[in-house]
Amino acid sequence: MKAKSIRFFSPEENQAKQESTAKTKALPTGRISGSRKVLFPSATLEELGIESDNAWFQVGTDQGKRKIKNLYLVANDQQQGFQLVRTGRAYSLPLELILSKGGIDYQAQSYVFEASIFDHEGTPAYQLALAPESPQEKKPYTGKPRGRKPKNQQQEVDKQAGE
């Protein structure tokens, strides 16, 4: 009888590798409104640790770029620059002229941003990565049609039933 080639397993191969169950947390988001303001929902401000009552920022963009892709907000204690303003349930920075000069066409298309924190010369700063909002497409209805049938279809069904 021939000797069979057998592959033997070790106990380590039988143990499943545990994948990390912790999901990466999504970055805080906001949007640019049609009224030319950068809107921060209250939840976004809490995640970023911004005190909305007395927050002043210096606003900047990438040097040498024509179109704005990133806005940088550097916290400022001297009450110079731009202040967060309460608008409804959110807070905003009115940057209408800066955004329009930077190539953001907020009237034709809506924009959203993801905020991240970084350190700028020992002070907390925030990077807002701007992107056009992708429209949510509605999925076509695939279920059974409801209601009355159109007259053309109803007449064809009656003709077929009569034959």
pLDDT at residue 22 in the model:
43
User: In a 3-state reduction of DSSP, which class is residue 156?
Assistant: helix
Read off the pLDDT band of 20 (50, 70, 90).
Answer: very low
DSSP β-bridge partners for residue 41: 90
Q: What's 83-143 look like in SS3? A: ECEEECCEEEEECHHHHHHCCCCCCCCCEEEEEEEEEECCEEEEEEEEEECCCCCCCCCCC
Integer Cα distance of 93 and 99 in angstroms = 11
| Tens-digit pLDDT profile for residues 36-92 | 788 888 888 888 888 777 788 888 888 887 888 888 888 887 777 888 888 888 888
Cβ–Cβ under 8 Å, residues 45 and 93: no
Domain positions in the chain? 29-132
Higher pLDDT, 95 or 7: 95
Decide if pLDDT at 109 tops 70.
yes
